[in-house]
Amino acid sequence: MSSLLLWPLLLTLLTMEPSGAALVRVELRRAHLQQGIPNPLRAWAESTEPSRLGPPPKGDNPFLVPLSKFMNVQYFGEIGLGTPPQNFSVVFDTGSSNLWVPSKRCHFFSVPCWFHHRYDPKASSSFRPNGTKFAIQYGTGRLSGILSEDKLNIGGISNASVTFGEALWEPSLVFAFASFDGIFGLGFPTLAVDRVPPPLDVLVEQGLLEKPIFSFYLNRDFAGADGGELVLGGADPAHYIPPLTFVPVTVPAYWQIHMERVKVGTGLTLCAQGCAAIVDTGTSLITGPSEEIRALHRAIGGLPWLAGEHFILCSKIPTLPPVSFLLGGVWFNLTAQDYVIQISQGGFRFCLSGFHALDMPPPAGPLWILGDVFLGAYVAVFDRGSTSSGARVGLARARVPEAEPGGGGTAQAQFSD
């Protein structure tokens, strides 16, 4: 299931640190639409050169790894593989557990290879062959290739020895149009294809990261290039308004939790008997069972468009009802400004619903997926737990960047068992 539908491509689907521990940061930046391109898919054909990874900061200062976003529905950032590092834009995806990038050795007719940066084993002095074949099936695409071993650089962490996939064959054109090169899985080891240790586990096992904890802050403001930040090893309280509400993970594969209820304004209740939900950074929208999403769209005035999407009259945004999710006994509210995707291009304004129907059959479903539309409003802390405590997800309202001068410093949230 790990990647799902995106608009128009959906990929997917605290025991915290001592005061002196450093956070590893991945900054987000925005990818802009090309002028005069009405179809967002066409804009993805342009890949941008990843920014170079800088030297690690000194002392206890946090490490930075740039991330990007595309139209507030696609977030990605840079990593380095090899010696010297070859840089790639990757989606940091909590709905899968493998790391892969396109290969210099890819099949000639694998179109996505020609639009993206490709890993060249001959250009790396630290490359080690593995040769095991792998294949991954996503909800909107598939790929296959071979496993290799090399050094990973991320956010100032360097020389982590990882096993990753070199994609040799990407028959799905959705990857050709994507703004990113590959995928960096942040799910549980259970999801990993061929039992490859997930990169997060590797960082912890090799002593490069103290705790298997990370957090996402996604900047939904369309102005500027800043897309937010991925923090490895903890969370930055400058990103959210306390307190964090922690919800236990019910299925340690995807980051699956129990959701008690969903309300649309005061007149419609969904997930009335409770339901499963997945917190997924690799899914752009919020998805749910088709019958319930149809009822939601009727309540917010969503008008059917292409490929199951719905558009919203932009003038109606101030009057639309909130959509609220009951998680861990706390209501998490989304206003229309949160759940309507607003696109401005060439003086034309277009508004799309951030909800999409997706029926997951048993035993995995039915379920909801809380993707980037939800995570733009709420910072999520993903805590894998320990032998004495289970995995959990912490949620708190994201701070508005303009209202928080001096944010993004080295402050760290402290958590207890």
Cβ(213)–Cβ(234) below 8 Å: yes
Give DSSP secondary structure letters for 186-232. -S-GGG-GGGPPPHHHHHHHTTSSSSSEEEEEE----SSSEEEEEEE
Establish whether 359 is a catalytic residue: no
Supply 316's token pair.
């109606």
List the beta bridge partners of residue 244: none
Instruction: Check: CB of residue 154 under 8 Å from CB of residue 231.
Output: no
Catalytic residue among 93, 150, 181, 201: 93
Check: CB of residue 163 under 8 Å from CB of residue 157.
Answer: no
Backbone angles phi, psi at 210, to 5 degrees: -70, -45
Would you state the structure tokens that stand for residue 194, as one six-digit string?
Answer: 């061929």
What secondary structure does DSSP assign to 76-111, as a single string?
Answer: EEEEEETTTTEEEEEEEETT---EEEEBTT--TT-G
Q: CA dist 189 to 153, 277, 288, 327, 384, Å?
A: 21, 19, 25, 25, 11
Is 150 annotated as catalytic? no
- Which of 280, 338, 372, 383 is catalytic? The answer is 280
* C-alpha triplet 102, 104, 107: angle, nearest 5°: 80
Interstrand relation of 392-398 and 182-185 (parallel, antiparallel or unpaired): unpaired
| CA Rg value for the chain | 20
Question: Residue 190, CB half-sphere, CA atoms under 13 Å: how many?
Answer: 12
Please state, in angstroms and rounded to a whole number, the distance separating the CA atoms of residues 133 and 294: 42
- Note the residue count of the chain: 417
> Would you please indicate which residues are annotated as catalytic (active-site) residues?
93, 280
